[in-house]
């Protein structure tokens, strides 16, 4: 437990869109045991899907900064306000984790943290989450990824379940070249040893990639850069938000998702279908061509509603919204359960509601055939604790 004399370390959790930051954060929160973790979530969109995914687990020790990248808050005043609040002794927080938006410039955030004058907190290192399955594609599209890796204190090579051992070894060799001397931890579903983050002492003292002086020396040019966000990944991305209290028709939504434009890189949120036998909340994640649904119970009193954030480059927001609006279904109770098949194709077999599958005459072969269309061996993981969600 923090003695209150020691400044609370603030760890930046960074990584490209969909790399698995929220999944990792939830793993840390579940494995934190006696350590109290304060969380700052910075969603790119104004519907705060990430915040919703972790909120139930941290209660009042979480603040959420929606509606833009934290790295653009040049003076960091807003962040300081939240850190001050989290650092109050009554919260008893031992470590603060900032989940950066998937399009943030971690260097900017590090600078803000180093410049923070609150003696109750100190910069505690940066964790960069890397999606093994999207590694080459992300680097090709975003050369700045290499810069982010170079300032990391710990690299988590996530989604190793989606690549074979040879590919994993190749990526590890590339990472060793990009960030020499920095530990690279392989993981699936962000399951790293929480001790890597909670044992803070080593971090502050041993990080040598970017010293305080380096940061200050870079500050001037970076500040100019920060004022002109054209160099940031998020300058090239748009976020489109869709929310509806009306149910969505499963088949129309799947047609929309199957035909989504290549520039629409990331979709996250949850869907209300309301089809008989499928009243659950369907959490949805798309990362590149990967698509997964996870049925979860609705929270107590939670409104049956669809909320989606769509992040992409060169996407036509109004057209996406019009397409989604056309998926709305005013009478979901009258919709045949078998229209859910297209959705169930993208659900982990372990999470599939088998009653409906059996009733609808679906066989295992149907599911296997369908799975072959999706990414091989990729399964969804429930980020939200159903009890809390
Ligand atoms: N197969 C596989 N899927 C994973 C793994 N880690 C996360 N996922 C899935 O990848 C999707 C994105 O995960 P998130 O944790 O939401 O990613 P994120 O980095 O927080 O996403 P943004 O906030 O959009 O940047 C979800 O469907 C996760 O369940 C993994 O190791 N293996």
pLDDT of residue 156: 94
Q: How far is the CA of 389 from the centre of ligand 1 (A)?
A: 17
d(CA 326, CA 320): 10
With vertex at residue 26, the alpha carbon angle to CA 234 and CA 66, rounded to the nearest 5 degrees, is 35
Is ligand 1 within 6 A of the CB of residue 168? no
Domain assignment present for 88? yes
Is ligand 1 within 6 A of the CB of residue 50? yes
Is pLDDT of 93 > 70? yes
Between residues 220 and 12, the one the model is more confident about: 12
pLDDT in tens, 204-241: 333 333 334 444 444 444 444 544 555 555 556 778 88
pLDDT of residue 327: 96
pLDDT of residue 181: 80
Residue 278 forms beta bridges with which residues? 275
43 Cα nearest atom in ligand 1: 23
109: containing domain: 8-233
What CATH number is associated with residue 75? 3.40.50.300
* Residue among 192, 42, 190 at smallest CA distance from 108: 42
Helix (DSSP H) and strand (DSSP E) numbers for the chain: 15, 14
Is ligand 1 within 6 A of the CB of residue 380? yes
Is pLDDT of 170 > 60? yes
Q: How far is the CA of 23 from the centre of ligand 1 (A)?
A: 6
Contact (Cβ atoms closer than 8 angstroms) between residue 266 and residue 291: no
For residue 122, the SS3 value is: strand
Residues 168 and 31 in one domain: yes
d(CA 331, CA 247): 8
d(CA 194, CA 200): 11
Residues 228 and 280 in one domain: no
Dihedrals φ, ψ of 354, to 5°?
Answer: -65, -25
pTM: 0.68
Q: Best of 20, 129, 142, 192 to mutate for ligand 1, by most ligand atoms within 8 A of CB?
A: 20
Residues 29 and 149 in one domain: yes
One-character DSSP codes across 45-78:
SSS-HHHHHHHHHHGGGEEE--SS-GGG-TT-HH
pLDDT of residue 5: 58
Angle between helices 212-227 and 106-115 (to 10 degrees): 120
d(CA 89, CA 7): 11
Residues 259 and 336 in one domain: yes
Domain assignment present for 184? yes
d(CA 343, CA 294): 10
Is ligand 1 within 6 A of the CB of residue 357? no
Is ligand 1 within 6 A of the CB of residue 266? yes
Which of 233, 250, 267 is at the close of a domain? Answer: 233
Residue 355: pLDDT band with limits 50, 70, 90: very low
What CATH number is associated with residue 302? 3.30.1220.10
Closest Cα to atom 13, ligand 1: which residue?
20
d(CA 4, CA 353): 48
Is ligand 1 within 6 A of the CB of residue 239? no
Residues 179 and 293 in one domain: no
Is pLDDT of 36 > 70? yes
Domain assignment present for 244? yes
Residues 15 and 109 in one domain: yes
Between residues 50 and 328, the one the model is more confident about: 328
Residues 83 and 158 in one domain: yes
Residues 181 and 246 in one domain: no
Number of domains in the chain: 2
Is ligand 1 within 6 A of the CB of residue 285? yes
Is ligand 1 within 6 A of the CB of residue 312? no
pLDDT in tens, 293-329: 999 999 999 999 999 988 887 888 899 999 999 999 9
Residues 229 and 253 in one domain: no
Mean pLDDT score across all residues of the chain: 75
383 Cα nearest atom in ligand 1: 29
pLDDT of residue 372: 31
**Which pair of structure tokens corresponds to residue 54?**
């972790």
26 Cα nearest atom in ligand 1: 15
**Which pair of structure tokens corresponds to residue 171?**
């990526």
Q: How far is the CA of 282 from the centre of ligand 1 (A)?
A: 15
Average pLDDT rounded to a whole number, residues 130-146: 92
Domain assignment present for 389? no
Between residues 165 and 118, the one the model is more confident about: 165
Residues 82 and 188 in one domain: yes
Domain assignment present for 383? no
Residues 68 and 167 in one domain: yes
Q: Best of 16, 18, 350 to mutate for ligand 1, by most ligand atoms within 8 A of CB?
A: 18
Which residues, 6 or more positions from 126, have their beta carbon under 8 angstroms from its beta carbon? 11, 12, 14, 106, 110, 151, 152, 153, 154
Q: Output the CA torsion 187→189→195→199 (10° steps).
A: 90
Q: Radius of gyration (Cα) for the chain, nearest Å?
A: 21
Closest Cα to atom 4, ligand 1: which residue?
189
Residue 133: pLDDT band with limits 50, 70, 90: very high
pLDDT of residue 44: 53
Q: How far is the CA of 320 from the centre of ligand 1 (A)?
A: 23
Is ligand 1 within 6 A of the CB of residue 159? yes
Q: Is the dihedral of CA 14, 226, 242, 135 positive or negative?
A: negative
d(CA 382, CA 292): 10
Is pLDDT of 4 > 70? no
Is ligand 1 within 6 A of the CB of residue 22? yes
Residue 68: pLDDT band with limits 50, 70, 90: low
Between residues 219 and 133, the one the model is more confident about: 133
Burial 118-129 (b: 16+ CB within 10 A, else e): eebbbbbbbbbb
Is ligand 1 within 6 A of the CB of residue 381? yes
Q: How far is the CA of 5 from the centre of ligand 1 (A)?
A: 36
Domain assignment present for 382? no
């Amino acid at each position: 437990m923090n003695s209150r004399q020691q400044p609370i370390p603030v760890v930046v959790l960074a990584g490209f869109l969909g790399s698995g930051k929220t999944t990792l954060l939830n793993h840390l929160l579940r494995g934190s045991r006696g350590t109290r973790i304060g969380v700052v979530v910075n969603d790119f969109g104004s519907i705060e899907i990430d915040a919703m995914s972790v909120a139930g687990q941290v209660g009042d020790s979480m603040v959420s900064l929606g509606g833009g990248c934290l790295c653009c808050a040049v003076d960091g005043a807003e962040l300081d306000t939240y850190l001050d609040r989290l650092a109050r002794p009554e919260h008893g927080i031992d470590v603060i984790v900032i989940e950066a938006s998937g399009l943030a410039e971690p260097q900017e955030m590090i600078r803000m943290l180093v410049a923070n004058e609150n003696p109750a907190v100190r910069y505690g290192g940066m964790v960069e989450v890397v999606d093994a399955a999207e590694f080459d594609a992300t680097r090709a599209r975003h050369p700045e990824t290499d810069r982010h890796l170079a300032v990391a204190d710990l690299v988590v090579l996530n989604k190793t379940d989606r690549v074979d051992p040879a590919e994993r070894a190749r990526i590890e060799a590339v990472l060793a070249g990009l960030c020499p001397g920095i530990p690279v931890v392989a993981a699936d579903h962000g399951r790293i040893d929480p001790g890597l983050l909670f044992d803070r002492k080593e971090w502050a003292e041993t990080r040598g990639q970017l010293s305080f002086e380096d940061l200050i020396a870079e500050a001037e040019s970076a500040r100019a850069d920060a004022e002109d966000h054209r160099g940031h990944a998020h300058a090239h991305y748009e976020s489109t938000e869709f929310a509806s209290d009306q149910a969505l028709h499963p088949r129309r939504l799947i047609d929309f998702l199957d035909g989504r434009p290549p520039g629409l890189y990331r979709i996250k949120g949850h869907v209300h279908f309301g089809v008989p036998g499928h009243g659950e909340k369907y959490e949805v994640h798309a990362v590149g061509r990967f698509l997964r649904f996870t049925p979860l119970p609705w929270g107590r009193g939670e409104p049956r509603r669809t909320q989606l954030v769509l992040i992409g480059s060169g996407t036509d927001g109004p057209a996406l919204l019009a397409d989604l609006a056309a998926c709305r279904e005013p009478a979901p109770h009258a919709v045949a359960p078998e229209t859910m098949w297209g959705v169930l194709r993208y659900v982990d077999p372990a999470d599939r509601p088998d009653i409906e599958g059996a009733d609808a005459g679906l066989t295992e072969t149907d599911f296997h055939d369908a799975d072959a269309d999706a990414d091989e061996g990729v399964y969804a993981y429930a980020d939200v604790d159903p009890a809390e969600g």
